[in-house]
Structure formats: structure tokens, C-alpha cells
Structure 1
């Protein structure tokens, strides 16, 4: 996957907009971080993933999911785009979007989807 693939998926959802964070491209929902591209150009930082779930993702798919010491105490997982598959990333991304989007946007999306 690429960041453009992630953009294509997420921009189809209400309330998602392009932005930037720490000088890299990001996607935001109502000014809150959905994901951002890390400086290496191949990793996404995705907040909203509780540490126990993050640990399970890292253990089950260490080539795709990881975290660094910097993120150890944050509910964030890092995703290697070059190793990721849409069917793995999209559900996580959608769930995080649902937690950030307005209730109306989620209702409207569910009604048409």
C-alpha cells in the first residue's frame, strides 16, 4: 500500500480531510489525527489503538505492525505500508474514523453503505 491508497480509502468517508503533521502528510477528522505518514515515507502512525490491541497486532503481524520506544506509552501503532494489505488496514482505519467523526456523519455513512 501507499499513502495515496490510504488517502483514497479515507477521503471517501465524511469529515476526512487532508492535512499535515510534523511536516508530513496526514489525514484528519474534524481536526483530529486519523493517520499521518512518518518521515521514512513507508510508515503510518495510527493513533486510537489501545496498547493491548497494538501488542496483539505486533505479535501477530510483526512485518506490518510495530512501534518504537517513542510510542510505547501512547495508544498508537505504526504500519509499514510496503508490507500492509488493504484488508488488514482498512478495518482499523475505519474504526478509528468512526471514533472521530460526528455521529451524524457515521449515521449518514452507515445509511448509504
Structure 2
């Protein structure tokens, strides 16, 4: 089971990552591009999930950037107990993650992939050349 403290530690361990507040929630960015953020469910999110007949996660939730909509739907199909989405994210390459359902190794991999997707190509290439992953 992961916590938001784990998210912070893993994100800030990546090169050129900064922390900021966006819409009242913490977000981690590289080159001013967000790749992982706090995403508590709002009333409208809960209403939408209820209307769709989906479970309402009780624990901490984060938003995580993914490469594209295909990757998003593949993650949700493969591990629906960990990854989900809400109508607010329709058409946007991001997935929501239940922190109480993901282990630290998988969380590290997901955060690193999100960072690689958003980092400048030169920075990402240097990270990988230095043995990052």
C-alpha cells in the first residue's frame, strides 16, 4: 500500500522535478509539465461514478499522466482495482490511481513512465543513459 508521501519521495527523486500547488492540490512537474498530482474525488466525480455504477474509492487517489488514451484504457482493463477514470478525464491522457491498491514498485514504475513522457527529450535521454528506471 502506497501513500502520498511515497508519491512525493518518488517524484522528487527524478531529475528537474518541482512541486507546486494547483487547484489546491500538490502537483509534481518537470519542465513546467505536470506528471503526477493529488486528485481527491469531488462531489461531481462521486456522482458520476455512482451514476455509472462504479465503486467509489475510499482512500487517497492520485492523477497520473500516461502516454495516450490507449495506454490509459489498457491500464484500466488490466488492473481495474488499481486504475480508474472519471468523465472529467475523458479524452485526456491521464489515469486515476488508488494508492491503497498499488505497491511501491509499480508506483515507482508508473511515476517514472509519466515523468519520461513529460520530461524534455534530452533530460529523459540522460536519465536513461545514467541507468535510470
The TM-score normalised by the length of structure 2 is: 0.75
**1:74 pairs with 2:92:** yes
Look up the match of 1:12: 13
Look up the match of 1:46: 64
- The structure whose Rg is larger is 2
Q: Distance in 2 between matches of 1:23 and 1:111?
A: 36
Q: Distance in 2 between matches of 1:6 and 1:97?
A: 12
Look up the match of 1:32: 33
Q: Is the 8 A contact 1:20 1:36 kept in 2?
A: no
Task: Kindly state the Cα deviation for residue 101 of structure 1 after the two structures are TM-superposed.
Answer: 1.9
Task: Kindly state the Cα deviation for residue 108 of structure 1 after the two structures are TM-superposed.
Answer: 3.2
Mind listing any 5+ residue stretches in structure 1 that lack a counterpart?
none
Task: Kindly state the Cα deviation for residue 102 of structure 1 after the two structures are TM-superposed.
Answer: 2.6
Look up the match of 1:103: 121
Q: How many residues align?
A: 113
Q: CA RMSD in A?
A: 1.7
Would you identify which runs of 4 or more consecutive aligned residues in structure 1 move more than 4 Å?
none
Q: Is the 8 A contact 1:29 1:101 kept in 2?
A: yes
